[in-house]
Structure 1
Amino acid sequence: MSKTSGKTTNQSPVGKRVRQTQTRQHQQANRSIRDVRDSSHRPVWTIAGVLVVVLVVAVLYLIYQNSQRNQATTATGGGSGFRHTAGQPGVGTAAPAFTLAASEGGQVSLADFRGKSVLLYFQEGLSCQPCWDQIKDLEQNQQALKNAGVDAVVSITTDPATLIAQKMADEKLSTTVLSDPDLAVSRAYHANSYGMMGDMRDGHSFLLVGLDGTIRWRADYGGSPDYTMFLPTQKMLTDLATERKP
């Protein structure tokens, strides 16, 4: 303690100012420490949040993929192992009429097959070698097709008839292939909804038209994501036998 003018004081003004300065310095130091701690924690929480979001997205993707696989299994149905669906017009509806130029010359109409069971095969055309291999495989299994109740096979694609005829000669094939260059018939059957070229080309679709002109079976094999362009005829007949409607 000090005595000044007969009065007793506890602390000099200088000491008080020093203590106040030290207090402010301590407070600033504490705030700096807290800021450092907070800043060091922020990235950790940010990274954790990103990881949570990534995990959620991954789980949702797996759920989506599983649902797609389940849908594919349901669509496949017949047991061939080749994923397919059945578009529209579908089973039980009248097959849209058509008349198209044929590879062997002249024109062929669907009405020409009335009273027969005809298998329509929509395919991608000249740029798709597996599609022509498919026709060759169909020809090599004619007896199996007859045993399955198929009286005739007609293929439809979008290339000019003259080029189709040349391809048929090169491949030594005899199946009737029809030219649908403006896709009028392909669109009527929505066969151009299943190809790799978008709606510019057909995919790989089979339709069995019955004796009365009604669709008895349909299988579109060319859709995303598999884009099947060839399947063994026996596999196709497995699906036909399982899914065909009387």
Structure 2
Amino acid sequence: MSKISGKATKSVSDSRRARRSTMIGAVVVVLAAVVLFAVYRNSQSANGGTAGGSGFEHVAGQPGTGTAAPGFTLTSDTGSQVGLADFRGKSVLLYFQEGLSCQPCWDQIRDLEKNRPALKAAGVDTVVSITTDPADLIGRKVTDEKLSTSVLSDPTMRVSQAYRANSYGMMGDTRDGHSFVLVGPDGTIRWRADYGGAPAYTMFLPTQKMLADLTAERAP
């Protein structure tokens, strides 16, 4: 009987130890998950990153919401001079992009054009794209792509650097990334989203996704 009793006691003890080990393991897993989530949130806060309503990771660079949009005058794809002041009294969406070597960027413009009613409903009066390629080459590309959006040439990167749009591209700071800046009728930036940064270099996102972020994040 004593041997049987001893075996039973040992079995109960082993069972309790197993349960304790399982509980400890579960606690460790939960704590690890909490720590990892905290690290993730801190890194997101440090970088200003968010997935927003679109699900596409982006940051809001500087100059940002609430600041005066840097003025400019650039040569367009048609050879005319276009300035930010030309849009005073309207909401203009500036789209900084990588240019001729980035076909998804031109597909983005085409998608913006297809969604003009949605843009208008969201309070965007017009879209202007800015890239660093020469105006004559941009003109050919716009013609080839059959686009109507005004695309401006910023070969010296003066405007791109003023908006720091060249901080988010795959080519380092020699090209713009994939940045949207909404300038209100009074010349103040109402919303900004830079989608082109590392490690996920977004070069195209559906206009409806972009509008989800704009609607959720823009200033009044």
Q: 1:120 to 1:107 in 2, by over 3 A?
A: same
Match of 1:56 in 2: none
CA contact (8 A) 1:78 1:240 kept: no
1:197 aligns with 2:149: no
What secondary structure, in the 3-state scheme, does the structure 1 residue paired with 2:161 have?
helix
1:108 aligns with 2:52: no
Match of 2:161 in 1: 187
1:131 aligns with 2:128: no
Q: Residues 166-189 of structure 1: CA distance to partner in whole angstroms, max 9, x if unpaired?
A: 000110001000000010000000
1:164 aligns with 2:138: yes
Q: Residues 134-156 of structure 1: CA distance to partner in whole angstroms, max 9, x if unpaired?
A: 00000000000000000000000
RMSD: 2.1
Q: Hey, what's the Cα distance between the residues in 1 that align with 2:42 and 2:202?
A: 16
What secondary structure, in the 3-state scheme, does the structure 1 residue paired with 2:49 have?
helix
1:216 aligns with 2:190: yes
Match of 1:173 in 2: 147
- Code of the residue aligned with 2:144 in structure 1: it is D
Structure 1 residues 82-121: aligned runs within 5 Å: 82-121=56-95
Q: 1:74 to 1:110 in 2, by over 3 A?
A: closer
Give ranges in structure 2 of 5+ residues lacking alignment: 1-31
Deviation, structure 1 residue 76: 2.2
1:67 aligns with 2:40: yes
Greater radius of gyration (CA): 1
Q: Hey, what's the Cα distance between the residues in 2 that align with 1:189 and 1:213?
A: 14
What secondary structure, in the 3-state scheme, does the structure 2 residue paired with 1:229 have?
coil
Tell me which of the two structures has the higher relative contact order, counting C-alpha pairs closer than 8 angstroms and 6 or more residues apart: 2
Q: Hey, what's the Cα distance between the residues in 2 that align with 1:103 and 1:242?
A: 32
Structure 1 residues 207-246: aligned runs within 5 Å: 207-246=181-220
1:79 aligns with 2:61: no
TM-score (normalised: structure 1): 0.72
- Code of the residue aligned with 2:168 in structure 1: it is Y
TM-score (normalised: structure 2): 0.80
The percent identity for this pair of structures is 73
What secondary structure, in the 3-state scheme, does the structure 1 residue paired with 2:61 have?
coil
CA contact (8 A) 1:154 1:176 kept: yes
What secondary structure, in the 3-state scheme, does the structure 2 residue paired with 1:234 have?
helix
CA contact (8 A) 1:114 1:211 kept: yes
- Code of the residue aligned with 1:217 in structure 2: it is W
Q: Hey, what's the Cα distance between the residues in 2 that align with 1:199 and 1:122?
A: 13
Q: Hey, what's the Cα distance between the residues in 1 that align with 2:42 and 2:145?
A: 37
What secondary structure, in the 3-state scheme, does the structure 2 residue paired with 1:76 have?
coil
Deviation, structure 1 residue 75: 2.7
Give ranges in structure 1 of 5+ residues lacking alignment: 1-58
CA contact (8 A) 2:48 2:60 kept: no
Deviation, structure 1 residue 216: 0.1
Q: Residues 56-96 of structure 1: CA distance to partner in whole angstroms, max 9, x if unpaired?
A: xxx9xx95995279618973253200000000000000000
